[in-house]
Amino acid sequence: MLETPVVLYRAPRVTPALIGIGAVSLVLGPGVLLLGLVLISGERGMLIPLVLAVLLLVGSCALLWVVGRPLLEVTASGVTVRNGAIARRCDWADVARIDVDRRRRTCGRVIVRLVDGESLPVLASDPRWSILRGEGVPSLDPERSIPYLRTVDAHRRWLATRTAPGRVD
């Protein structure tokens, strides 16, 4: 029987806030488009505006679903990163280090650097979403963000158990 790893940290999802913002745009966007196209085209030709409004509605729902899915899950055995529709599970043995992004637009975002040289940016750790995650106002020091500290702490714990004196592999 497979054991479920103990989750040390999971970045809370911001989906409820996105759904609220998205619901307003989903109702207003197609509604305004449909009204505008009906006024332009008159009573004839209702099919084209209706199809465009439905396509806009479906596209907006799909975009909202993808944007609302970022995930950072830290366990004792590794880290799971999901950005949009792509998810990646990495064991701590595959992780070289945990960094924090210092670029202007993405400052404070956690970056998981793998042993093979690949970098995984973690969209769920973006400091712009910290209030929606319930973590309060983001710190001015990116290395004090909760997702970064929890991820680094779990990686250090794994390194400590791996390099403990008297350990035999």
What is the domain-level CATH number for residue 149?
A: 2.30.29
Indicate if 63 and 84 belong to the same structural domain.
Answer: no
Indicate if 32 and 55 belong to the same structural domain.
Answer: yes
pLDDT of residue 14: 63
User: Is the dihedral angle over the CA atoms 28, 17, 125, 58 positive or is it negative?
Assistant: negative
CB–CB of 112/90 below 8 Å? yes
Indicate if 131 and 144 belong to the same structural domain.
Answer: yes
Q: Look over the chain and give the mean of its residue pLDDT values, rounded to a whole number.
A: 78
Domain for residue 167, yes or no?
A: no
| pLDDT higher than threshold 60 for residue 102 | yes
Q: Which of 28, 51, 67 is the last residue of a domain?
A: 67
Indicate if 93 and 155 belong to the same structural domain.
Answer: yes
CB–CB of 72/87 below 8 Å? no
- Give me the domain span that covers residue 111: 71-162
Query: pLDDT tens across 40-60, in order?
Result: 766 666 666 667 777 777 777
Packed helices 15-41 and 47-67: angle between N→C axes, nearest 10 degrees: 170
Indicate if 77 and 155 belong to the same structural domain.
Answer: yes
Look at residue 87 and give its three-state secondary structure: strand
Q: Which of 20, 50, 67 is the last residue of a domain?
A: 67
| Spatial strand order in the sheet of 119-121 | 95-100, 110-114, 119-121
How far is residue 146's CA from residue 40's CA, in Å, rounded to a whole number?
52
Q: How confident is residue 145, by pLDDT bands cut at 50, 70 and 90? A: confident
Distances from the Cα of 80 to the Cα of 7, 52, 75, angstroms: 10, 38, 8
Indicate if 50 and 115 belong to the same structural domain.
Answer: no
Domain for residue 1, yes or no?
A: no
Q: Which of 67, 87, 112 is the last residue of a domain?
A: 67
| pLDDT higher than threshold 60 for residue 150 | yes
User: Which span out of 32-41, 57-66, 153-162 was modeled with the highest average pLDDT?
Assistant: 153-162
Indicate if 60 and 96 belong to the same structural domain.
Answer: no
